[in-house]
Amino acid sequence: MNRGEVHVEQSSAAQESFRAVEWRDGALQLLDQRLLPQREEYLTLKTAPDVAQAIHDMAVRGAPAIGIAAAYGVVLAARAAWQRAGNGWREAIEADLAHLAAARPTAVNLRWAIKRMRGRFNAIQGEPEAALLAEARAIHDEDRAANFKMARLGAGWLPPDAAVLTHCNAGALATGGYGTALGVIRAAHARGALKAVYVNETRPWLQGARLTAWELLRDGIPVTLLADAAAAHLMATRGIDCVIVGADRIAANGDTANKIGTYMLALSARAHGVKFMVVAPGSTFDLSLDSGRDIPVEARDAAEVLRHGGRPVAAAGATAWNPVFDVTPAGLIDVIVTEKGLIERPDAARVAAVIGG
Protein backbone atom coordinates (compact mmCIF):
# COMPACT_ATOMS: atom_id res chain seq x y z
CA MET A 1 0.00 0.00 0.00
CA ASN A 2 1.14 3.52 -0.76
CA ARG A 3 1.28 5.48 2.49
CA GLY A 4 2.32 8.76 0.86
CA GLU A 5 1.10 12.01 2.36
CA VAL A 6 -1.90 13.58 0.68
CA HIS A 7 -2.51 17.28 0.98
CA VAL A 8 -6.13 18.10 1.86
CA GLU A 9 -7.07 21.76 1.70
CA GLN A 10 -9.58 22.54 4.46
CA SER A 11 -10.70 25.93 3.32
CA SER A 12 -11.76 25.25 -0.26
CA ALA A 13 -15.37 26.27 -0.81
CA ALA A 14 -15.74 23.35 -3.22
CA GLN A 15 -15.53 21.01 -0.24
CA GLU A 16 -18.80 22.25 1.19
CA SER A 17 -21.66 23.32 -0.99
CA PHE A 18 -24.18 22.61 1.78
CA ARG A 19 -24.31 22.28 5.56
CA ALA A 20 -26.36 19.31 6.76
CA VAL A 21 -26.35 20.61 10.35
CA GLU A 22 -26.07 24.27 11.23
CA TRP A 23 -26.82 26.57 14.17
CA ARG A 24 -28.44 29.71 12.79
CA ASP A 25 -30.38 32.55 14.42
CA GLY A 26 -30.73 30.74 17.71
CA ALA A 27 -32.10 27.53 16.23
CA LEU A 28 -30.86 24.26 14.72
CA GLN A 29 -31.15 23.98 10.95
CA LEU A 30 -31.12 20.53 9.39
CA LEU A 31 -31.08 19.66 5.72
CA ASP A 32 -33.97 17.17 5.68
CA GLN A 33 -32.31 13.99 4.41
CA ARG A 34 -35.61 12.18 3.98
CA LEU A 35 -36.38 14.38 0.99
CA LEU A 36 -33.06 14.23 -0.88
CA PRO A 37 -32.26 14.15 -3.72
CA GLN A 38 -35.64 15.34 -5.00
CA ARG A 39 -35.96 18.30 -2.63
CA GLU A 40 -33.45 20.38 -0.68
CA GLU A 41 -35.44 21.65 2.30
CA TYR A 42 -34.28 22.74 5.71
CA LEU A 43 -36.00 22.14 9.05
CA THR A 44 -35.69 24.81 11.73
CA LEU A 45 -35.80 23.25 15.21
CA LYS A 46 -36.24 25.25 18.39
CA THR A 47 -36.78 22.56 21.05
CA ALA A 48 -34.87 19.50 22.22
CA PRO A 49 -37.86 17.13 21.72
CA ASP A 50 -38.03 18.31 18.10
CA VAL A 51 -34.33 17.52 17.69
CA ALA A 52 -34.85 14.06 19.23
CA GLN A 53 -37.73 13.44 16.82
CA ALA A 54 -35.65 14.58 13.81
CA ILE A 55 -32.86 12.18 14.83
CA HIS A 56 -35.32 9.31 15.34
CA ASP A 57 -37.06 9.98 12.02
CA MET A 58 -33.71 10.30 10.19
CA ALA A 59 -34.12 13.86 8.98
CA VAL A 60 -30.52 13.94 10.23
CA ARG A 61 -28.56 10.67 10.23
CA GLY A 62 -25.03 9.34 10.24
CA ALA A 63 -23.28 8.84 13.56
CA PRO A 64 -21.22 12.07 13.84
CA ALA A 65 -24.06 14.25 12.51
CA ILE A 66 -26.44 12.70 15.04
CA GLY A 67 -23.96 13.57 17.82
CA ILE A 68 -23.58 17.15 16.60
CA ALA A 69 -27.35 17.62 16.28
CA ALA A 70 -27.77 16.24 19.81
CA ALA A 71 -25.16 18.69 21.13
CA TYR A 72 -27.17 21.58 19.70
CA GLY A 73 -30.26 19.87 21.13
CA VAL A 74 -28.68 20.14 24.58
CA VAL A 75 -28.33 23.91 23.99
CA LEU A 76 -32.06 24.12 23.24
CA ALA A 77 -32.86 21.95 26.26
CA ALA A 78 -30.78 24.24 28.50
CA ARG A 79 -32.55 27.32 27.15
CA ALA A 80 -35.95 25.80 27.99
CA ALA A 81 -34.76 24.54 31.40
CA TRP A 82 -33.44 28.01 32.28
CA GLN A 83 -36.77 29.59 31.26
CA ARG A 84 -38.68 27.08 33.40
CA ALA A 85 -36.43 26.76 36.42
CA GLY A 86 -33.71 29.47 36.44
CA ASN A 87 -30.82 28.27 38.57
CA GLY A 88 -32.53 24.87 38.89
CA TRP A 89 -31.87 24.27 35.17
CA ARG A 90 -29.48 21.35 35.84
CA GLU A 91 -32.32 19.24 37.25
CA ALA A 92 -34.93 20.60 34.85
CA ILE A 93 -32.89 19.60 31.78
CA GLU A 94 -32.67 15.88 32.59
CA ALA A 95 -35.89 14.70 30.89
CA ASP A 96 -34.84 16.34 27.60
CA LEU A 97 -31.36 14.80 27.81
CA ALA A 98 -32.85 11.33 28.36
CA HIS A 99 -35.16 11.89 25.40
CA LEU A 100 -32.27 12.95 23.15
CA ALA A 101 -30.07 10.02 24.24
CA ALA A 102 -32.84 7.52 23.40
CA ALA A 103 -33.47 8.85 19.89
CA ARG A 104 -31.30 6.19 18.19
CA PRO A 105 -29.46 3.37 19.98
CA THR A 106 -26.47 2.29 17.86
CA ALA A 107 -24.49 5.44 17.01
CA VAL A 108 -22.44 6.00 20.16
CA ASN A 109 -21.63 9.56 19.04
CA LEU A 110 -25.09 10.54 20.30
CA ARG A 111 -24.33 9.57 23.91
CA TRP A 112 -20.72 10.73 23.58
CA ALA A 113 -21.86 14.24 22.59
CA ILE A 114 -24.44 14.48 25.40
CA LYS A 115 -21.84 13.31 27.92
CA ARG A 116 -19.36 15.89 26.67
CA MET A 117 -21.99 18.66 26.88
CA ARG A 118 -22.88 17.51 30.40
CA GLY A 119 -19.21 17.81 31.33
CA ARG A 120 -19.55 21.60 30.96
CA PHE A 121 -22.52 21.91 33.34
CA ASN A 122 -20.68 22.29 36.66
CA ALA A 123 -18.51 25.22 35.62
CA ILE A 124 -21.46 27.29 34.33
CA GLN A 125 -22.74 30.17 36.41
CA GLY A 126 -26.04 31.82 35.54
CA GLU A 127 -27.70 31.39 32.15
CA PRO A 128 -26.18 28.31 30.45
CA GLU A 129 -26.92 28.87 26.76
CA ALA A 130 -23.81 30.74 25.64
CA ALA A 131 -21.32 28.35 27.25
CA LEU A 132 -23.15 25.29 25.94
CA LEU A 133 -23.42 26.74 22.46
CA ALA A 134 -19.66 27.27 22.45
CA GLU A 135 -19.18 23.61 23.40
CA ALA A 136 -21.60 22.38 20.70
CA ARG A 137 -19.80 24.50 18.11
CA ALA A 138 -16.48 23.04 19.29
CA ILE A 139 -17.84 19.49 18.85
CA HIS A 140 -19.00 20.44 15.35
CA ASP A 141 -15.72 22.10 14.34
CA GLU A 142 -13.58 19.31 15.78
CA ASP A 143 -15.53 16.68 13.87
CA ARG A 144 -15.04 18.56 10.62
CA ALA A 145 -11.32 18.98 11.30
CA ALA A 146 -11.03 15.26 12.15
CA ASN A 147 -12.55 14.42 8.79
CA PHE A 148 -9.84 16.32 6.93
CA LYS A 149 -7.16 14.49 8.89
CA MET A 150 -8.76 11.11 8.23
CA ALA A 151 -9.17 11.95 4.55
CA ARG A 152 -5.45 12.65 4.26
CA LEU A 153 -4.45 9.48 6.11
CA GLY A 154 -6.96 7.23 4.36
CA ALA A 155 -6.22 8.51 0.86
CA GLY A 156 -2.51 7.99 1.53
CA TRP A 157 -3.18 4.37 2.43
CA LEU A 158 -4.98 3.56 -0.84
CA PRO A 159 -3.06 2.18 -3.80
CA PRO A 160 -2.74 4.49 -6.83
CA ASP A 161 -5.58 4.40 -9.35
CA ALA A 162 -7.89 2.58 -6.96
CA ALA A 163 -11.39 1.31 -7.67
CA VAL A 164 -13.38 1.61 -4.47
CA LEU A 165 -16.79 0.56 -3.20
CA THR A 166 -18.69 2.35 -0.45
CA HIS A 167 -21.92 1.59 1.38
CA CYS A 168 -24.59 3.84 2.91
CA ASN A 169 -23.63 7.51 3.31
CA ALA A 170 -20.61 8.47 5.39
CA GLY A 171 -20.19 11.89 3.82
CA ALA A 172 -20.69 15.57 4.59
CA LEU A 173 -24.36 14.77 5.15
CA ALA A 174 -23.47 12.32 7.92
CA THR A 175 -20.84 14.40 9.72
CA GLY A 176 -19.78 17.92 10.65
CA GLY A 177 -18.60 18.32 7.05
CA TYR A 178 -16.48 16.62 4.33
CA GLY A 179 -17.21 13.11 5.55
CA THR A 180 -15.38 10.05 6.86
CA ALA A 181 -15.45 7.37 4.12
CA LEU A 182 -16.45 10.00 1.56
CA GLY A 183 -13.74 12.32 2.89
CA VAL A 184 -11.18 9.67 1.92
CA ILE A 185 -12.87 9.28 -1.46
CA ARG A 186 -12.96 13.07 -2.00
CA ALA A 187 -9.27 13.41 -1.11
CA ALA A 188 -8.23 10.47 -3.31
CA HIS A 189 -10.29 11.85 -6.19
CA ALA A 190 -8.72 15.31 -5.75
CA ARG A 191 -5.24 13.91 -6.28
CA GLY A 192 -6.37 11.88 -9.31
CA ALA A 193 -5.88 8.59 -7.50
CA LEU A 194 -9.28 7.00 -8.12
CA LYS A 195 -10.20 4.85 -11.09
CA ALA A 196 -13.82 4.32 -10.08
CA VAL A 197 -16.27 4.86 -7.21
CA TYR A 198 -18.97 2.23 -6.82
CA VAL A 199 -21.82 2.90 -4.40
CA ASN A 200 -24.23 0.34 -2.98
CA GLU A 201 -27.78 1.67 -3.15
CA THR A 202 -28.21 0.59 0.53
CA ARG A 203 -31.62 -0.91 1.01
CA PRO A 204 -34.02 -0.17 2.54
CA TRP A 205 -33.45 3.54 3.13
CA LEU A 206 -31.30 4.07 0.00
CA GLN A 207 -28.65 6.23 1.63
CA GLY A 208 -26.24 5.24 -1.15
CA ALA A 209 -28.53 5.94 -4.09
CA ARG A 210 -30.17 9.05 -2.65
CA LEU A 211 -27.46 10.68 -0.51
CA THR A 212 -23.97 9.44 -1.44
CA ALA A 213 -24.62 9.74 -5.16
CA TRP A 214 -26.08 13.25 -4.63
CA GLU A 215 -23.08 14.38 -2.57
CA LEU A 216 -20.37 12.98 -4.81
CA LEU A 217 -21.96 14.11 -8.06
CA ARG A 218 -22.25 17.65 -6.66
CA ASP A 219 -18.47 17.54 -6.30
CA GLY A 220 -18.03 16.23 -9.84
CA ILE A 221 -17.03 12.73 -8.69
CA PRO A 222 -18.51 10.10 -11.03
CA VAL A 223 -20.51 7.41 -9.27
CA THR A 224 -21.63 3.95 -10.39
CA LEU A 225 -24.55 2.65 -8.34
CA LEU A 226 -25.25 -1.01 -7.81
CA ALA A 227 -27.88 -3.06 -6.04
CA ASP A 228 -26.45 -4.25 -2.73
CA ALA A 229 -26.76 -7.84 -3.87
CA ALA A 230 -24.36 -7.15 -6.78
CA ALA A 231 -21.36 -6.39 -4.55
CA ALA A 232 -19.79 -9.88 -4.50
CA HIS A 233 -20.16 -10.15 -8.28
CA LEU A 234 -18.55 -6.70 -8.61
CA MET A 235 -15.55 -7.85 -6.58
CA ALA A 236 -15.29 -11.09 -8.53
CA THR A 237 -15.42 -9.44 -11.95
CA ARG A 238 -14.33 -5.78 -11.83
CA GLY A 239 -11.13 -5.56 -9.82
CA ILE A 240 -12.18 -3.58 -6.75
CA ASP A 241 -9.18 -2.51 -4.61
CA CYS A 242 -10.83 -1.36 -1.41
CA VAL A 243 -14.19 -1.18 0.36
CA ILE A 244 -14.41 2.09 2.33
CA VAL A 245 -17.13 2.53 4.97
CA GLY A 246 -17.93 4.62 8.04
CA ALA A 247 -18.95 3.34 11.47
CA ASP A 248 -21.62 3.87 14.11
CA ARG A 249 -19.78 2.27 17.02
CA ILE A 250 -16.41 0.56 17.35
CA ALA A 251 -15.76 -1.70 20.34
CA ALA A 252 -12.43 -1.85 22.20
CA ASN A 253 -11.27 -4.81 20.09
CA GLY A 254 -12.06 -3.08 16.77
CA ASP A 255 -15.35 -4.87 16.02
CA THR A 256 -17.35 -2.29 14.06
CA ALA A 257 -21.08 -1.61 13.79
CA ASN A 258 -22.15 0.07 10.57
CA LYS A 259 -25.08 0.10 8.17
CA ILE A 260 -26.71 -3.27 7.57
CA GLY A 261 -24.89 -5.03 4.74
CA THR A 262 -21.41 -3.90 5.83
CA TYR A 263 -20.61 -7.30 7.39
CA MET A 264 -21.61 -9.04 4.17
CA LEU A 265 -19.29 -6.71 2.24
CA ALA A 266 -16.41 -7.44 4.62
CA LEU A 267 -16.87 -11.20 4.20
CA SER A 268 -16.99 -10.82 0.48
CA ALA A 269 -13.98 -8.51 0.42
CA ARG A 270 -11.88 -11.03 2.36
CA ALA A 271 -12.96 -13.84 0.02
CA HIS A 272 -11.85 -11.79 -3.01
CA GLY A 273 -8.62 -10.33 -1.62
CA VAL A 274 -10.16 -6.83 -1.52
CA LYS A 275 -8.94 -4.46 1.23
CA PHE A 276 -11.51 -3.30 3.82
CA MET A 277 -11.17 0.18 5.34
CA VAL A 278 -13.28 1.71 8.14
CA VAL A 279 -13.04 5.49 8.61
CA ALA A 280 -14.28 6.90 11.93
CA PRO A 281 -13.35 9.57 14.47
CA GLY A 282 -12.46 8.89 18.11
CA SER A 283 -16.03 9.82 19.12
CA THR A 284 -17.27 6.61 17.43
CA PHE A 285 -15.20 4.32 19.67
CA ASP A 286 -16.88 2.78 22.70
CA LEU A 287 -14.05 1.44 24.81
CA SER A 288 -16.52 0.35 27.50
CA LEU A 289 -17.46 -2.57 25.25
CA ASP A 290 -14.91 -5.37 24.94
CA SER A 291 -16.34 -6.62 21.67
CA GLY A 292 -19.06 -6.00 19.12
CA ARG A 293 -21.30 -8.61 20.75
CA ASP A 294 -22.55 -5.94 23.17
CA ILE A 295 -23.28 -3.23 20.60
CA PRO A 296 -27.05 -2.56 20.52
CA VAL A 297 -28.35 -2.99 17.00
CA GLU A 298 -31.30 -0.79 16.12
CA ALA A 299 -34.32 -2.51 14.57
CA ARG A 300 -36.60 -0.11 12.74
CA ASP A 301 -40.17 -0.31 11.51
CA ALA A 302 -40.91 -3.24 9.19
CA ALA A 303 -42.70 -0.76 6.93
CA GLU A 304 -39.28 0.51 5.73
CA VAL A 305 -38.80 -2.90 4.06
CA LEU A 306 -42.40 -3.65 3.12
CA ARG A 307 -43.10 -0.27 1.51
CA HIS A 308 -41.17 2.09 -0.69
CA GLY A 309 -41.92 5.66 -1.66
CA GLY A 310 -45.21 5.43 0.20
CA ARG A 311 -46.31 2.34 -1.78
CA PRO A 312 -46.33 -1.33 -0.75
CA VAL A 313 -43.65 -3.43 -2.50
CA ALA A 314 -44.22 -6.72 -0.65
CA ALA A 315 -47.08 -9.17 -0.92
CA ALA A 316 -49.89 -8.26 1.46
CA GLY A 317 -49.51 -10.22 4.68
CA ALA A 318 -45.70 -10.54 4.53
CA THR A 319 -43.84 -9.54 7.67
CA ALA A 320 -40.32 -8.10 7.68
CA TRP A 321 -37.24 -7.99 9.89
CA ASN A 322 -35.42 -4.67 9.70
CA PRO A 323 -32.14 -4.56 11.65
CA VAL A 324 -30.45 -1.42 10.33
CA PHE A 325 -26.88 -2.12 11.45
CA ASP A 326 -24.62 -5.14 11.64
CA VAL A 327 -21.27 -5.82 13.30
CA THR A 328 -18.15 -6.58 11.29
CA PRO A 329 -15.57 -8.55 13.30
CA ALA A 330 -12.20 -6.78 13.60
CA GLY A 331 -10.50 -9.74 11.91
CA LEU A 332 -12.15 -8.78 8.60
CA ILE A 333 -10.92 -5.16 8.76
CA ASP A 334 -7.56 -4.21 7.22
CA VAL A 335 -7.42 -0.69 8.60
CA ILE A 336 -9.42 1.69 10.76
CA VAL A 337 -8.59 5.29 9.86
CA THR A 338 -9.01 7.75 12.75
CA GLU A 339 -7.90 11.35 13.23
CA LYS A 340 -5.38 10.04 15.73
CA GLY A 341 -3.77 7.65 13.27
CA LEU A 342 -4.21 4.40 11.38
CA ILE A 343 -5.09 1.17 13.17
CA GLU A 344 -3.95 -1.61 10.85
CA ARG A 345 -5.23 -5.17 11.48
CA PRO A 346 -7.15 -3.87 14.52
CA ASP A 347 -7.29 -5.71 17.82
CA ALA A 348 -7.64 -4.55 21.44
CA ALA A 349 -3.96 -3.64 21.84
CA ARG A 350 -3.75 -1.70 18.57
CA VAL A 351 -7.02 0.16 19.27
CA ALA A 352 -5.77 1.08 22.76
CA ALA A 353 -2.42 2.26 21.34
CA VAL A 354 -4.12 4.79 19.04
CA ILE A 355 -7.36 5.69 20.82
CA GLY A 356 -6.26 5.16 24.43
CA GLY A 357 -7.80 2.74 26.84
Residues assigned a catalytic role: 248
> Using CB under 6 A as the criterion, what x/- string covers residues 226-245 for binding ligand MRU?
-------------------x
Q: Least distance (Å) from ligand MRU to the CB of residue 173?
A: 9
Q: Least distance (Å) from ligand MRU to the CB of residue 168?
A: 4
CA distance from start to end of the chain: 28
- Which of 189, 259, 346, 351 binds ligand MRU (CB under 6 A)? It is 259
> Using CB under 6 A as the criterion, what x/- string covers residues 291-330 for binding ligand MRU?
---------------------------------x------
Among the candidate windows 61-69, 92-100, 137-145, 287-295, which touches ligand MRU by CB under 6 A?
61-69
Q: Least distance (Å) from ligand MRU to the CB of residue 175?
A: 5
- Which of 15, 175, 212, 338 binds ligand MRU (CB under 6 A)? It is 175
Among the candidate windows 15-23, 78-86, 170-178, 234-242, which touches ligand MRU by CB under 6 A?
170-178
The CB-based long-range contact list for 21-29 (8 Å cut-off, 24+ gap) reads: 21/60, 21/65, 21/68, 21/69, 21/72, 21/140, 21/176, 23/72, 23/75, 23/133, 23/136, 23/137, 23/140, 27/76, 28/69, 28/72, 28/73, 28/76
CA angle at residue 69 from 47 to 12, to 5 degrees? 130
Give φ, ψ of 234 to 5 degrees. -60, -45
Binding of ligand MRU by 183 (CB under 6 A):
no
Sequence-separated (6 or more) residues with CB below 8 Å from residue 253: 290, 291, 292, 330, 346, 347, 348, 351
Q: What is the DSSP pairing of strand 275-279 with strand 335-338? A: parallel
- Which of 54, 81, 168, 332 binds ligand MRU (CB under 6 A)? It is 168
Site of interaction with ligand MRU (CB under 6 A): 61-64, 107, 168, 170, 174-175, 180, 207, 245-248, 258-259, 324
